[in-house]
Amino acid sequence: MKKIPLEKRNVSASRIILGCMGLGGTWDNSSASSEEVLKAERAIDAALESGMTMFDHADIYKRGKAEEVFGQVLQSRPGLREKIIIQSKCGIRFADEAAPGRYDFSKGHILNSVDGILQRLSIEYLDILLLHRPDPLMEPEEVADAFLQLKSSGKVRHFGVSNMNKGQVELIQAYSEQPMIINQLEMSLNKLDWVDQGVSVNQAAGKASYFADGLMEFSMMNDIQIQAWSPLAKGVFTGHDSSQLSEAESETRALVKQMAADKETTEEAIVLGWLMRHPAKIQPVIGTTDPERIKNCGDAVRQSEIMTREEWYRLYVSARGNKLP
């Protein structure tokens, strides 16, 4: 089996990542309850039982509480930290008395953010730090200085980005000695601009696609790991209210259900397996905290390995309304 890009960089990562945005409780400044810690523990255990050893965070998730409850679980299990890969993201700032919601890739904010992340997670280092969406006011020299300082101090081992196009990645890389090893993007069977050769299916709505300039090919050529957030498209094909689905979504949902039955697996494994079948060796970041649904995703690795070209295209064409681009 071919290595994923992270493995080529000596990062021992699982093919599926548990996204931790759903941990921690509410999106306010209240404290996380003991029940939220138990919820995090159950989700982590379900992920580990399913072969997932990589966990995705961001400093803003539940205003820091997602990292806090995860950190409490780590404190209760001293041997767990060295068995898993932890990545987090920084760069998004909530509205406050000083300014509206904004992005901030300044050196000071990146350094302060990492200190906060490490404190909340109760760890000494991050395996990977991602910049969370593009900042129009980014000074690449500042980013490079921050990354160098974090690397030299041992606080962060690897770096990457999220939601960036090819030019944005190249700009950061031109200034930083640290390679950008990840780009985390929205990708699913219901969001197909990444596979439609850069032609956005939402073009009529005026939405630009960060894939339009050959991002997938660029990433594959440079061993940049593509991670997919919202890979299950909020359950559109695996349990969403069918009365709200389009004709193409309804037909694709029926096809997913039939394929899962034929292969004696779960619908989640079919949807994720389709995404992971791509030669870029995409890593899905699943966002559920439901232990059963986490376990339902576990067979996706095997499904990606046995899915035929014909099966892949059957799902692709169905999701596009029974037509090729």
If you write DSSP's letter for every residue of 13-44 in order, what string do you get?
A: --SSEEE-TT-SS-SSSSPPPHHHHHHHHHHH
**What three-state secondary structure class fits 227?**
strand
Q: What pLDDT shows up at residue 199? A: 57
Could you identify the residue written with the tokens 């197909």?
Answer: 192
In this prediction, residue 205 carries a pLDDT of 45
Q: Which distant-in-sequence residues (6+ apart) come within 8 Å of 30 by Cβ?
A: none
Query: What is the rounded average pLDDT for all residues in the chain?
Result: 95
- Domain coordinates of the chain in residue numbers? 9-186
Task: Give per-residue pLDDT as tens, 233-263.
Answer: 999 999 877 778 999 999 999 999 999 999 9
Residues of the chain with pLDDT under 50: 200-206
Answer for the pair 89, 129: CB distance below 8 angstroms, yes or no. Answer: yes
Of the candidates 293, 283, 289, the one whose C-alpha atom is nearest the C-alpha of residue 87 is: 283
pLDDT value of position 197: 73
pTM for the whole structure: 0.95
Sign (positive or negative) of CA dihedral 154, 158, 160, 166 = positive
CA 5 to chain centre: 15
pLDDT tens digits, one per residue of 9-62:
999 999 999 999 999 999 999 999 999 999 999 999 999 999 999 999 999 999
Distance from C-alpha of 89 to C-alpha of 293, rounded to nearest angstrom? 24
Closest C-alpha among 224, 146, 219 to residue 181:
224
**What's the CATH number of domain 9-186, 2.60.320.10, 1.10.10.10, 3.20.20.100, 3.40.50.2300?**
3.20.20.100
Three-state SS for 217?
A: helix
Would residue 175 show up in a list of annotated catalytic residues for this protein? no
pLDDT given at position 202: 47
